[in-house]
Structure 1
Amino acid sequence: MIENFLDKKATILKKEKRANKRYKYDYNFKIESVNLKEINLDVLGVNISTNGIAFISNISFEKGDMLSIAFKFNNVTIPAIIKVQHVNICDTGFFVGGEFIAMQNMYREVLKRGCETFSVK
């Protein structure tokens, strides 16, 4: 009885919390500015969803930083503003997750329609 309860609890804890699926996105893209300060940094994308993007960077960011980025998606360069939600140290630098805060509707639609073309991460 206790074992069964623990198994169910472990299963519940592993469920995906995100509203939208993440898809593999292993392309380089540019961070143009951090909190309105120009930076021009190339980073490597890890995954993407209609709500945000995760990437590997060789510099750290702070939770809450606002990043101006430009990334390629289905042959369209999409400019967006993301808010850093988390930063973790990894073998190749820093794993950063950001939420899309500002993006024009036409680009959001390109992202929404194209996400399914990527394989699930």
Structure 2
Amino acid sequence: MTNSLDFMALVEQARELVRELSIEEYQHDDSWQLIDVREDHEWLKDRLPLAKHLSRGILERDIGKRFPDKSAALLLYSAGGQRAILAALSLQRLGYRNVASLDGGYRAWCAHELPLVQD
């Protein structure tokens, strides 16, 4: 699937305001709570180990119930990273102070041939 130019422009604007963490940085810092912001059908197929699921569609509505501490270290990922960047910016606007996006998302994780979890 090819993303629209408007969508990619929006992601690039958000990227300037959001911290991106590499897979290696994540692996060396166990303080991060990993949040999968992909759609339900993506989550059900497989996911990164230790991830919690809050899809992009309900993230802003439910984040306070699942993670009430606005200083918690929250690392978001999506399929390629774009939705996670937008979601991280949204959480920052909600007052979350330690939010990042996993650089390259799920696809980068798979490219590194790292383990996935399935039900």
State whether TM-score is above 0.5.
no
Q: TM-score, normalised by structure 2?
A: 0.26
Q: TM-score, normalised by structure 1?
A: 0.26
Between structures 1 and 2, the one with greater strand share: 1
**Structure having greater relative contact order (Cα 8 Å, sep ≥ 6):** 2
